[in-house]
Homo-oligomer: A and B are copies of this chain.
């Protein structure tokens, strides 16, 4: 989906929070909401909520607010969750395993096809129903399967070489948990870096700079 004006990265980062809130509201049987109610729940201002949602189209009506099921579908569509996405996991150490066990991918239209590792003791096993294959067979496997997103969870020292390998296979997107900053210009694919240390450091900053 393409929009007339470029949408800011910060707006994109807030969309998942709107999604979870709308799901929660729908879960308790609520049918409509307002920018004020959403803003209070999310610790934002109503005008910020209105501005974010207006960037994608005209979903609210003055005096009525937002219809929850309609807005929820729209937010999902904006994020691309109406499209089925396939996932493969490379590296099943503590983080790869946790990502296989922790998230309910099916609820959001993702399908985890396979995981890969080099360790003999995990090859041939299943983690949360997902088969773990020998990483030696990755190239052939990727040639035969359409994978949209690769979860990269190999040891840090292997991060760049495995990422380049995946890039060569034509992987469209890498969700990178290796703590190595893989910038997109290196990679020719979409990269989302998740470095847990950064989140901890940000928390520490706010802890030490509380007002």
Contact = CB atoms under 8 A, between A and B. Distances in A.
A122 interface: no
B201 A175 contact: no
Nearest to A97: B94
A85 B204 contact: yes
Contacts of A108: 197, 200-201
Nearest to A194: B199
A80 B181 contact: no
Interface stretch (A47-55, A130-138, A182-190): A182-190
A70 interface: no
Main secondary structure, interface of A, reads helix
A175 B148 contact: no
Nearest to A82: B208
Most chain B CB neighbours (cut-off 10 Å) among A13, A42, A85, A98: A98
A162 B179 CA distance: 29
B192 A202 contact: yes
Interface string A56-68: 0000000000000
Given A94-B101, A181-B42, A192-B199, A205 B79 contact: yes
Interface string A128-156: 00000000000000000000110000000
A2 B208 CA distance: 9
A205 B15 contact: yes
A16 B202 contact: yes
